Amino acid sequence: KTLSKEEIKQIMQEENVQFLRLMFTDINGIIKNVEVPASQVDKVLDNKITFDGSSIDGFVRIEESDMLLHPDLSTWLIFPWGVEHGKVARLICDVYLPDGTPFPGDPRNNLRRVLEQMRDKGFSDFNIGPEPEFFLFKLDDNNEPTLDLNDQGAYFDFAPVDLGENCRRDIVLELEKMGFEVEASHHEVAPGQHEIDFRYADALEAADRIQTFKLVVKTIARKHGLHATFMAKPLQGINGSGMHMNMSLFRDGQNIFFDSQGEQQLSKEAYYFLNGVLNHARALTALNNPTVNSYKRLVPGFEAPVYVAWSARNRSPLIRIPSGRGNSTRIEFRSPDPTANPYLVIAGILMAGLDGLKERQMPVHSVDRNIYSMSETERKANGITDLPSTLHNAVKAFKKDQVVLDALGEHLAQSFVDSKDLEWASYRQTVSDWEREQYMQLY
């Protein structure tokens, strides 16, 4: 239930809330905060807090650098951890221009815009259930992250070697205090790697939760003397961190992907949607895997997708249809990693899926064999293409895909490309140890 302004002010008194943290997300998915003392609450609730947008990545438009924060009162939350003299509450905000219009460079505003288009087509909710993974590393004496993992545990390991378990359990408890419904939390395949799955929610809430989740994980890890990272591939030779996205489309409380009479009990709409996501998968990769390092995860042999294919059985393809039916009928998209900006990723997937619904084409048949062991000829014969192998190639595919470009709108699409081009240019100039090891003596 969304609180009224008066209720919020009353709760602040009762709970001794001393600071309000106003949160929003930049183009790179980084959470930005404007913190104000409780005395400013009226200004906050009247949408009068301003900040300098020219200092935020992807917001640059010098002529309109003063922007306003409109708090979304439904996101009111008091952090369970306090400060010395009281509590801190947060509100997630939409960014507005001084003329009172939503700022088109705000990823959250943009997701609202895309969801509006979905509702115009008669759907009520786009549900997202994320499965974020992360690593815990030890901190050194100066509180800087090291490359020492906090444990040597293995998948679903309950043995005492899983020293990260205490930290993960604490994270889960804090999340629950904040209203998260944690469905599962476990140690991952790689040492030091963890996954926490929380219950699906409608797109905007799910994206907000992903952002809050990252903040909670990092904060609690620190309290345990650990550094949590959502970097996609922190260590070579072991699995990277993904953030599988489970999704389903609802109309009036009914999951339209389910059809008890359909092939594999999936509706025609489910197949069309799936086909839309497959068709735009190469362009979506730029949003799903937005860092240079993301592509070091998308290599064969580490449970991450490399090819554009789908399956109801196999866990290696880009898209899997988990076995749940009825209202848990869903499509699992396995390429996103936790460096992705969830607002952009979800907007992109939804527009791709809606495009599929418009086109009404069935996808190529599913691939239930191990794709890694197929030859290139076999893959071609089965209609399987490659995902982009670098950030540069992904951004090239992104620039060519009008549906995915439209999912971001002109302003965001342009700032995204600008920001990624800079990142790639900087990477290209870097000479790595690997290169020196390979070439220094050979040539």
Report the catalytic residues: 52, 131, 133, 188, 195, 244, 315, 332, 334
Part in contact with Mg ion (CB under 5 A); list of ranges 22-30, 63-71, 128-136, 150-158: 128-136
Q: Should residue 326 be labelled a site residue for ligand ADP when binding is judged by CB under 6 A?
A: no
Instruction: Give the torsion through C-alpha atoms of 140, 146, 151, 155, to 10 deg.
Output: 150
209, 214, 233, 330: which one binds ligand ADP (CB under 6 A): 330
- What is the DSSP annotation of 2-34? PPPHHHHHHHHHHHTEEEEEEEEE-TTS-EEEE
Which listed option, Mg ion, ligand ADP, none, makes contact with residue 168 (CB within 5 to 8 Å by class)? none
183, 421, 435, 437: which one binds ligand ADP (CB under 6 A): 183
At position 110, the amino acid (one-letter code) is: N
The DSSP call for residue 263 is G
Q: Should residue 106 be labelled a site residue for ligand ADP when binding is judged by CB under 6 A?
A: no
Contact in structure between 376 and 298 (CB atoms under 8 Å): no
Q: How far is the CB of 39 from ligand ADP (least distance, A)?
A: 39
At position 152, the amino acid (one-letter code) is: Q
Contact in structure between 23 and 92 (CB atoms under 8 Å): yes
Which listed option, Mg ion, ligand ADP, none, makes contact with residue 301 (CB within 5 to 8 Å by class)? none
Residue 333 forms beta bridges with which residues?
A: 245, 319
Which listed option, ligand ADP, Mg ion, none, makes contact with residue 125 (CB within 5 to 8 Å by class)? none
Contact in structure between 110 and 343 (CB atoms under 8 Å): yes
Nearer to Mg ion, 45 or 247 (CB): 247
Q: Should residue 195 be labelled a site residue for Mg ion when binding is judged by CB under 5 A?
A: yes
Residues binding ligand ADP: what is the number (CB under 6 A)? 20
Contact in structure between 321 and 266 (CB atoms under 8 Å): yes
CA 278, CA 286: separation in Å to the nearest integer?
14
- 305 closest CA partner among 360, 385, 246: 385
106, 332, 337, 355: which one binds ligand ADP (CB under 6 A): 332
Part in contact with ligand ADP (CB under 6 A); list of ranges 104-112, 192-200, 288-296, 305-313: 192-200
CA 441, CA 443: separation in Å to the nearest integer?
5
Contact in structure between 239 and 194 (CB atoms under 8 Å): no
Exposure string of 2-17, with b = 16+ CB inside 10 Å and e = fewer, is eeeeeebbeebeeeeb
70, 224, 227, 244: which one binds Mg ion (CB under 5 A): 244
**What is the x/- site pattern for ligand ADP, positions 363-402, by CB under 6 A?**
----------------------------------------
Part in contact with Mg ion (CB under 5 A); list of ranges 54-62, 129-137, 150-158, 383-391: 129-137
Report the residue number whose CB is nearest to ligand ADP: 129
Task: Specify whether the backbone of 175 is left (phi greater than 0), alpha (psi in -120 to 50) or beta.
Answer: alpha
26, 106, 125, 131: which one binds ligand ADP (CB under 6 A): 131
Q: Should residue 193 be labelled a site residue for ligand ADP when binding is judged by CB under 6 A?
A: no
The H or E element spanning position 398 is helix 391-400
168, 194, 233, 244: which one binds ligand ADP (CB under 6 A): 244
Q: Should residue 251 be labelled a site residue for ligand ADP when binding is judged by CB under 6 A?
A: no
| HSE toward the beta carbon, residue 378, CA cutoff 13 A | 8
Cα–chain center distance at 46: 30
Residues binding Mg ion: what is the number (CB under 5 A)? 4
Part in contact with ligand ADP (CB under 6 A); list of ranges 241-249, 303-311, 335-343, 362-370: 241-249
CA 290, CA 272: separation in Å to the nearest integer?
26
CA 107, CA 415: separation in Å to the nearest integer?
11
Which listed option, ligand ADP, Mg ion, none, makes contact with residue 248 (CB within 5 to 8 Å by class)? ligand ADP
53, 107, 129, 305: which one binds ligand ADP (CB under 6 A): 129
199, 223, 313, 358: which one binds ligand ADP (CB under 6 A): 199
Residues that bind ligand ADP (CB under 6 A): 127-129, 131, 183-184, 197, 199-200, 244, 246-248, 255, 322, 324, 327-328, 330, 332
